[in-house]
Chain A
Amino acid sequence: AQSVSQHNHHVILSEAASLELGCNYSYGGTVNLFWYVQYPGQHLQLLLKYFSGDPLVKGIKGFEAEFIKSKFSFNLRKPSVQWSDTAEYFCAVRGNNRLAFGKGNQVVVIP
């Protein structure tokens, strides 16, 4: 079964700072990759996804992620965060129909 690692569980940064969240997975087969976001008091929402094609994918709200197959990574980035980006971010990997999540990154953006 696949596993997903996210580091730096708690991230605090100021508005306009750049954000990068790491995601590494272990699975040898074909994978689909996702980043989900959970804003305070809300349910999980899709931020972006990768199935095939261009390994640099763009999602909502200015987020993007890059799939690097050789590194088994799918890191999330945003050049300039806003206070409204305060949320928990989860990386997920689907392989052989099993959908596994990382432990999440709690991101707090200070105005």
Chain B
Amino acid sequence: GAGVSQSPSNKVTEKGKDVELRCDPISGHTALYWYRQRLGQGLEFLIYFQGNSAPDKSGLPSDRFSAERTGESVSTLTIQRTQQEDSAVYLCASTGTGVHRNTEAFFGQGTRLTVV
């Protein structure tokens, strides 16, 4: 597609429920990032995928958070047993690497998650 697409754009869920967020990166972009942006805060790194390499999961805040990506396609971020502190905007970005690494990261519009 023309840009990074995220779905849903808004999600309201009850505390304790699981949620799944989706990111469609720009076609051909090998690298994909997930970030969390709490109200009034900066972007908190969550996880980074690079092609078929093992992902960098060092930013995931707890074992309730997990993410998957198959090859260079769609990624899903799953939050299990959601808590109110999980409420935030979850942003996805993709970028080229290798011979295409001199590019910036392109962001999706984000998923606004509200846990009630």
Please report which residues of chain A, range 88-111, place their CB below 8 angstroms from some CB of chain B when the two chains form the complex: 90, 92, 94, 97-104
- B58 and A1 contacting across the interface, CB-CB below 8 Å: yes
CA distance A32 to B48 in the complex (A): 17
A16 within 8 A of B: no
Please report which residues of chain A, range 60-89, place their CB below 8 angstroms from some CB of chain B when the two chains form the complex: none
CA distance A2 to B36 in the complex (A): 18
A-B interface contact total, Cβ < 8 Å = 48
Contact of B108 among A34, A43, A94 (CB under 8 A): A43
Please report which residues of chain A, range 27-79, place their CB below 8 angstroms from some CB of chain B when the two chains form the complex: 32, 34, 36, 43-46, 49, 51
Considering only CB atoms, which chain A residue lies closest to B91 in the complex? A44
Interface extent on A, as a size class? 20 to 34
Instruction: Determine, out of B12-20, B63-71, B99-107, the stretch whose residues face the partner at the interface.
Output: B99-107
Residues of the B chain whose Cβ atoms lie less than 8 Å from the Cβ of A49: 104
- A100 and B107 contacting across the interface, CB-CB below 8 Å: no
Instruction: Determine, out of B21-29, B39-47, B79-87, the stretch whose residues face the partner at the interface.
Output: B39-47
- Residues of A at the B interface (CB closer than 8 Å) are 1, 6, 32, 34, 36, 43-46, 49, 51, 90, 92, 94, 97-104
Can you add 8 more A-B contacts, CB < 8 Å, to A97-B31, A101-B45? Answer: A44-B91, A46-B106, A51-B102, A90-B42, A90-B43, A97-B48, A99-B48, A101-B42
